Chains A and B, each alone.
Chain A
Amino acid sequence: MSVAVHPNPSHGPQGAAVETEHGHEHDNGSLYVLGFWLFIIQDLILFSCLFATYLVMQGRTAGGPTPKELFDVPGFSWETFLLLTSSFTCGLATFQLRRGKAASTIGWLVVTVLLGLGFVGLEANEFVTNALEGATMQRSGFLSAFYTLVGTHGCHVSLGIGWVILLMIQLARRGVTPVTFRKVFIWSIYWHFLDIVWVFIYTAVYLNGLAR
């Protein structure tokens, strides 16, 4: 069994035989990446349950604020812009990672973290503003489902920020090694996944609420 982790855990054309293509055994690096994809898919199913609940509950406002009254257009537009941009800068970090450049990888990860912090800050501000206006989680079925869905995504983003700060410390101390490469690569899949989930929150929650 090979214990060496290839510096590029996920590469080469789809379906290519590893021995002939790269001249080494199938390694553990790609197994970690595959396992992480499995986690992403189960997380996707968790979010789909929350989306289903929200879509069923969105009309149940119990005399409280409706989606259209509650949603702040500049607020969620900025949140969307920050997260889309952070997904892009995360991609640039991976690009530099592939070229083995630890310093510029860390640089783009710092930008990504700052954009992520901006996103979490705006979302926290949105939640506090709503709650002070009486739109609390216990007010109606709509608001319970709204805070559960959007809040679960916000928790994922916050966790991702803490996670990548630890990875940046490892990158700064060890440079781009097979292990740090694999760890940062896996984190980037997580971050892009959160962007996808947000695109659907933007579509199915915010735009859907405004369209009615």
Chain B
Amino acid sequence: MESTHSAHAGRFPWAHIVGYILSLVLTAAAFWLVLAHKAGLATTLVVIVLLGVLQILVQLFFFMHITESDGPAWHTVMLLVGFLFVVAIVGGSIWIMSFGGQVVA
């Protein structure tokens, strides 16, 4: 992410403006997809979750300086483990509670 580094040193916050525009575009895309009912429920849900994941990447790389650290980037390792836990907790809960077909619609 050399581009974000040079942007920090520069006089104009290009990286932040690009990040902001990307986050607005991603939000609007998810909003439009749901309100326009362009796709089936399953497709819509998968796409809006993917758009949300892209939003995380925008925040992490453009705003949260994820690529910067003195020494080894332990925070990125911890973050990856954290995401693994999140997927296990959320995905596992929905999956286990779907048995019987009446809890999760």
Contacts and interface: CB of A to CB of B under 8 A. Distances in A.
Interface of A: 6, 9-18, 22, 26-27, 30, 33-34, 37-38, 41, 44-45, 48-49, 51-53, 55-56, 58-60, 73, 77, 80-81, 84-85, 87-88, 90-92, 94-95, 98, 188-189, 192-193, 195-196, 199-200, 202-204, 207-208, 210-212
Q: Is the interface of B mostly helix, strand, loop or mixed?
A: helix
Given A56-B97, A196-B59, A48 B85 contact: yes
Interface of B: 5, 8, 13, 16-17, 19-20, 23-24, 27, 30-31, 34-35, 41, 44-45, 48-49, 51-52, 55-56, 59, 62-65, 67-76, 78-79, 81-83, 85-86, 89-90, 92-94, 97, 103-105
Given A55-B104, A95-B13, A207-B34, A87 B89 contact: no
B99 to A, nearest CB: 12
Contact of A207 (B16, B30, B68): B30
A196 B55 contact: yes
Nearest to A52: B93
A26 B63 contact: no
A10 B105 CA distance: 45
B78 A41 contact: yes
Nearest to B94: A55
A212 B105 contact: yes
Contacts of A38: 75, 78
A210 B35 contact: yes
Contact of B69 (A14, A196, A210): A14
A126 B19 CA distance: 29
A199 B56 contact: yes
Contacts of A53: 93
B63 A192 contact: yes
Nearest to A57: B103
Contacts of B74: 34, 37
Contacts of B48: 203, 207-208, 211
A52 B90 contact: yes
Contacts of A81: 24, 27
**Could you say which of B27, B41, B81, B94 has the most chain A C-beta atoms within 10 Å of its C-beta?**
B27
A56 B97 CA distance: 7
